[in-house]
Amino acid sequence: MSAPQPLAVDPVRNEREIARFWSSVVRGPGADDCWVWVGAIGDDGYGRFWIKRDGRQRAVRPHRYALVLANGGAPLPLDWVSLHLCDVPLCVRAGAHVVAGTPRENSRDMAEKGRVRGRWNRWLPGTGRDRAERSRAVRAAVRDGWDGQRFRDALHGAGDHPALF
Ligand SMILES: [Zn+2]
């Protein structure tokens, strides 16, 4: 076993790979909308993007790929973790919705978010299986083109939330 290699993307050499990446992303039209990965989804509810490095196939999480792209293709430090500020695991809108930092920075963000946006956490299932189910629903909602209402219903698990009064 070799140590995991940090992901790098060469804007010239990997041009076709980058085009393939964006062809699996549906961008919401709004300034605050998510950009949703509509390619493969793993059992953990996160996307899977297959790339080839050094002659080997390798699956990466699309939001991490997007973070590297936003970094000009240069690798991020291996110990950095990524965080979805929008709570949508399939979102690849790096910078605005997906950020990366040291684990310390991110745990602080999570604590803040838990206080400020606790309402959202209700829809953040604790298990990978639930998250995968939700991610597949979200993907199905936007795969044929952005539909904000279908997207929100899928995200919140239509029929799953308590009756309004
Ligand atoms: Zn998002």
In the block, residue with structure tokens 């076993």: 1
Task: Per-residue pLDDT tens, the chain, 165 aa: give them.
Answer: 556 678 999 999 999 999 999 999 999 999 999 999 999 999 999 999 999 998 999 999 999 999 999 999 999 888 888 888 898 999 999 999 999 887 777 666 666 665 444 434 434 445 667 889 999 999 999 999 999 999 999 988 765 545 454
Ligand 1 center–CA 64 separation, angstroms: 13
pTM above 0.85, yes or no: no
Alpha helix stretches (DSSP H) within the chain: 15-22, 62-70, 103-116, 118-121, 128-142, 148-156
Write down the pLDDT at residue 1.
52
Ligand 1 center–CA 13 separation, angstroms: 28
What residues are neighbours of ligand 1 (ion), with CB under 5 Å?
Answer: 34, 86, 88, 91, 93, 97
| CATH class of this structure's domain 15-152 | alpha beta
